[in-house]
Structure 1
Amino acid sequence: MVQERHPQGKGVCWTLRLWSAAVISMLLLSTCFIASCMEKMWGCCPNHWKSFGSSCYLISTKENFWSISEQNCIHMGAHLVVINTEAEQNFITQQLNESLSYFLGLSDPQGNSKWQWTDNTPFSQNVRFWHPHEPNLPEERCASIVYWNLSKWGWNDVFCDSKHNSICEMKKIYL
């Protein structure tokens, strides 16, 4: 009697290939996650927040008053955006809709041209992006960023009780 031989190698080979593909896929996904989250350490932003430098940004889709906008940011562990560099301004404006205006974390509570940031960053005369001839009214005590055709994106003083969209900023979450 002749015994039949079953090629066991093909089944083992197929299983080995399947496991290899799964391991390689997991390594690629892990590498992508690490690359997207890693900056200095493990810095990540919450879902739907945009990452730039050491901060995360959320662009609101709802208009509100300045004080309510700031409170909404605070409830998320953030504050209205503080713009420190031209690179940060450029990054933010790339995310914005040119037909809308957005509150910044900048205000002049007394109306005496002593502008201050919500996070107590000193207001530097070197880092400012006011539109020409702005700020122009002491009654307009809050700042927004808005697109004007001739001068593109810039800051404008506005009434704090007017409704605008807003931009929240928080530090990245480090793991």
Structure 2
Amino acid sequence: MVPEEHLQDREKGFWWLQVKVWSVAAVSISLLSACFIVHSVVTYNNSVYSKTIKKLSKLREYQQNYSSLTCVTGETEVEDWSCCPTLWSSFQSSCYFVSTVRQSWAQHWKNCSMMGAHLAVINTEDEEDFIIQNLNEDSAYFMGLSDPEGQRHWQWVDQTPYNKSATFWHSDEPNDPSERCVVVNFRHPSRKWGWNDVRCHEPEKSICEMMKIYL
């Protein structure tokens, strides 16, 4: 029969062996975890660096068409870059440019198109409110709504369906079938911005709109 003190010594030896084994395992796991973290960080940094280089390359391509761009990055992702040409205003997914040159509707349509944009299409009250913040109360601005045939069949330049419930006409507008283009202007008596139908050849200012550039 093995003496009790020998059993205790053997048990202590066994537990010490277990402690050593688990200690080595713990150290090994820690080292492996550290290696994995370092590898992940390096891989992530390389990935971010690679994506950043691609974005900058794409940005340079766009700058061949636009003299300069103003970009905003997302809060967490490098790839969430959204850009507008410098001097354009940013709102939601669009960029807006206010032209202070007085020209016909057709000429403004052409000028917007040459910049990869179109005359502004206003779909919501929030968009209307944003746009008028950048306008002069003493001027009128062509937008992308017209009635080509003079039949009160209003059409947006980007083919967005005309929704009468989402319009911002002045109270007595539209009022003349011969006025086939639309401006947004400010009426001092009512102290209110709104839409007004006008003759397309009349020289007015304009608002261009384009989709944001995403990099």
**Counterpart of 2:106 in 1: which secondary structure?**
helix
Query: Structure 1: any 5+ residue segments left out of the alignment?
Result: 1-33
Deviation at 1:37, TM superposition (A): 4.0
Gaps of 5+ in 2: 1-69
SS of corresponding position for 1:90: helix
Q: Which residue of 2 aligns with 1:157?
A: 197
Larger relative helix fraction:
2
Report the equivalent of 1:82.
121
In the superposition, relative to structure 1, how do residues 87 and 136 fare at CA in structure 2: closer, same or farther (>3 Å)? same
Counterpart-to-counterpart distance in 2, 1:138 and 1:172? 35
Give the counterpart of 2:167 among 106, 113, 128. 128
Shift of 1:36: 3.1
Query: 1:1-175 maps to which residues of 2 (within 5 A)?
Result: 36-38=72-74, 41-149=80-188, 150-175=190-215
Whose relative contact order is higher, 1 or 2, with alpha carbons under 8 Å and at least 6 apart? 1
Matched residue count: 142
- What is the CA-CA distance between 1:126 and the residue it aligns to? 1.4
Give me the whole-angstrom Cα distance separating, in 1, the residues matched to 2:100 and 2:194: 20
% identical aligned pairs: 53
The structure with the largest alpha-carbon Rg is: 2
Provide the secondary structure at the position in 2 that maps to 1:131. coil
How large is the RMSD of aligned CA atoms in angstroms?
1.7
4+ aligned runs moved over 4 Å, structure 1: none
**Partner of residue 24, structure 1:** none
1:92-140 per-residue CA deviation (whole Å, 9 max, x = no partner) reads 0001000000001000001111000000000001110000110000000
Residues 43, 156 of structure 1: CA spacing in aligned structure 2 closer, same or farther, 3 A cutoff? Answer: same
Corresponding position of 1:12: none
- Asked if the contact 2:145/2:154 (under 8 Å) is kept, the reply is yes
TM-score (norm 1): 0.78
Q: TM-score, normalised by structure 2?
A: 0.64
